Amino acid sequence: MKDLYIDFDGVICNTIDITYKMIDELKIDKKDNAQILKFYKNLDWFKVLEEATDINNGIERIKKIIKSGKFKVSILTHVNSVEEIEAKVKYIRKNFETIPIISVPKTISKTQILCAKNSILIDDYVGNLIDWRKAGGLGIRFDLDMDGKGFPVINELDEIIEVF
Ligand SMILES: [Mg+2]
């Protein structure tokens, strides 16, 4: 069984769409890293995840991936605050009783927290995929428009079953 790590924001859940809309409404410049960091640190994640939905039926598709028996599936997510971890765990546990949830501080690469070698990461953020590949892992980009930006790409999570 291969280790498969699935990103949360922008892959499982549409939290990026919701928070980018909020950032626009607050007229925060997306290039202003300090302001963006502050925004995500102070964000009410419970509220965001109440209105959030999964992308392309991601939850049901992850259940299919687990059922295939081909992968040891974990959720691997960058976080900005302890409250963000709490809110994400609450959201994920509604659907998955036992799936491991690994939270990584935003300032640290996902590859610093676990061993990427020979493991698969599905992520929407190319920076994470580049780090993953450098560490000997296999990166798959999740993108609704199927733009892989140099990586194999999927827009429905259970497509991974056919890739391996
Ligand atoms: Mg993401």
Whether residues 69 and 112 share a domain: the answer is: yes
pLDDT digits (tens, 9 = 90+) for 32-65: 999 999 999 999 999 999 999 999 999 999 999 9
Task: Check if the beta carbon of residue 120 is closer than 8 Å to that of residue 131.
Answer: no
Whether residues 82 and 46 share a domain: the answer is: no
Question: Domain range for residue 142?
Answer: 2-13+53-163
Identify the pLDDT of residue 164.
83
Whether residues 93 and 76 share a domain: the answer is: yes
Residue 15 CA to ligand 1 center (angstroms) comes to 9
Identify the pLDDT of residue 18.
97
Residue 12 CA to ligand 1 center (angstroms) comes to 8
Whether residues 113 and 74 share a domain: the answer is: yes
In the predicted structure, residue 144 carries a pLDDT above the cut 90: yes
Residue 124 CA to ligand 1 center (angstroms) comes to 5
Residue 1 CA to ligand 1 center (angstroms) comes to 24
Whether residues 25 and 60 share a domain: the answer is: no
Residue 36 CA to ligand 1 center (angstroms) comes to 15
Whether residues 34 and 95 share a domain: the answer is: no
Mean pLDDT over residues 120-143, rounded?
A: 98
In the predicted structure, residue 129 carries a pLDDT above the cut 90: yes
Residue 61 CA to ligand 1 center (angstroms) comes to 17
pLDDT digits (tens, 9 = 90+) for 67-115: 999 999 999 999 999 999 999 999 999 999 999 999 999 999 999 999 9
Residue 8 CA to ligand 1 center (angstroms) comes to 6
Residue 97 CA to ligand 1 center (angstroms) comes to 22
Whether residues 134 and 72 share a domain: the answer is: yes
Whether residues 159 and 85 share a domain: the answer is: yes
Mean pLDDT, all residues of the chain: 97
Neighbouring C-beta atoms of residue 147, cutoff 10 Å: 12
Whether residues 120 and 158 share a domain: the answer is: yes
CATH number at residue 59: 3.40.50.1000
| This prediction's pTM | 0.96
Residue 76 CA to ligand 1 center (angstroms) comes to 9
In the predicted structure, residue 9 carries a pLDDT above the cut 90: yes
Residue 9 CA to ligand 1 center (angstroms) comes to 4
Under 8 Å CB-to-CB from 53, ≥6 apart: which residues?
13, 14
**Residue (of 135, 127, 157, 144) closest to 57 by Cα position:** 157
Q: Give the 3-state secondary structure of residue 63.
A: helix
Whether residues 130 and 59 share a domain: the answer is: yes
Q: Tell me the percentage of the chain whose pLDDT exceeds 90.
A: 99
Phi, psi for 125 (deg, rounded to 5): -95, 115
How many domains would you assign to the chain?
2
Residue 56 CA to ligand 1 center (angstroms) comes to 15
Identify the pLDDT of residue 62.
98
Whether residues 67 and 146 share a domain: the answer is: yes
Q: Residue written as tokens 């000997």?
A: 136
Residue 152 CA to ligand 1 center (angstroms) comes to 16
